[in-house]
Amino acid sequence: MRGRHRTERGARSVGVLLLLAIVGGTAYAGLTYRADLLDLVGLGAGAPTPGPTATTTPSPSPVPAPSPPPEKERLVIHATGDVNLDPGYIPALAEGGYEHAWSGLDGLFRRDDLTVVNLECAVSDLGAPIEKEFNFRCDPAALPAMREAGVDVANLANNHSGDFGPEAVLDSRRRVIEAGMAAVGVGRNSRQAAKPAIFDVKGWTVAVLGFGGVVPSPDWIAGRSSPGMADGDDIPSMVEAVRSADAVADLVFVSIHWGAELDTTPRPDDVERAHAMIDAGADAIFGHHAHRLQPLDHYKGRPIAWGLGNFVWPNFSAAGSTTAVAEVAVRPNGAVKGRLLPAFIESPGHPVLQD
């Protein structure tokens, strides 16, 4: 059996994110996101204060019979490639409002069960630009529109989340969580960076992991006591993270930054990584970085979107504007099937689903 289903820890009401996430999960749109103290380190929220010690022993209460696990239903998961919300790089986002970035999708992400994107920019006003060709700083004001569009998870493990240094990486993570989404792929140390976001939805426990390759410098990778991203080039650590997620979840999905720019097919080392992660328990893999759409294949019945191309991005060329949304459907019996939904970036920062 792939993974181990565990009973839900308890849903929480919409709109109360950080405080309740410290002690349980946060529910929104039929989805329960589990968070713990490690998720929230650096958000300014302290550990819960222990209550007073009881001085009397209460009378024992009858132990209720355990509830049967919820019945598993069909799931639909979507994922995209590169999302850039930097108004300096895409002025149309500031001019037309950040809702414009998502208005060509006909509410697709609001109708599904889980949506994962690769957020390719630092969502922070902290830090200073490091020396590299492109430095992307996303506007935190863009996050509410992204959440309202139905995005649930942002992978921050890529070659632009560290454009303004480690302080901005952790601040980006904080801002994504405060906006009501899960952030994966980065953290205050390697343990947090490789930790999955866990969701309970329609009877399933779902884990989402983020990994980043193509890093400008090795110090972008998180260490035992240093911030950064989960290493997307180290197969043993990736396999370990997938196995750990698979041990507590029914389904494991991976968002990973890999490959080479302008490639239209996967490279052999990325094929090796993908197969190793699926062998370890991953149920679907969503790749990005090449800025070109690549095919979707299946390995051992699990879909691999090798490269999802640009998504919220300038429309510099027809090839760079040709993109897709990966759609993964999971049947109640656990069968997984993937496909690509064609889209085209019709104007800067404005992807539109195609018929």
Q: Is 329 exposed, middle or buried (0-12, 13-18, 19+ CB in 10 A)?
A: middle
Q: Which CATH number is associated with domain 75-353?
A: 3.60.21.10
Angle at 39 between CA 327 and CA 285, to 5 degrees: 25
Kindly give the confidence (pLDDT) of every residue in the chain, 355 residues in length, as a single tens digit, with 9 standing for 90 and above: 444 333 333 332 333 343 333 334 555 557 888 866 556 554 543 333 333 333 334 456 677 777 777 899 999 999 999 999 999 999 999 999 999 999 999 999 999 999 999 999 999 999 999 999 999 999 899 999 999 999 999 999 999 999 999 999 999 999 999 999 999 999 999 999 999 999 999 999 999 999 998 999 999 999 999 999 999 999 999 999 999 999 999 999 999 999 999 999 999 999 999 999 999 999 999 999 999 999 999 999 999 999 999 999 999 999 999 999 999 999 999 999 999 999 999 999 999 999 7
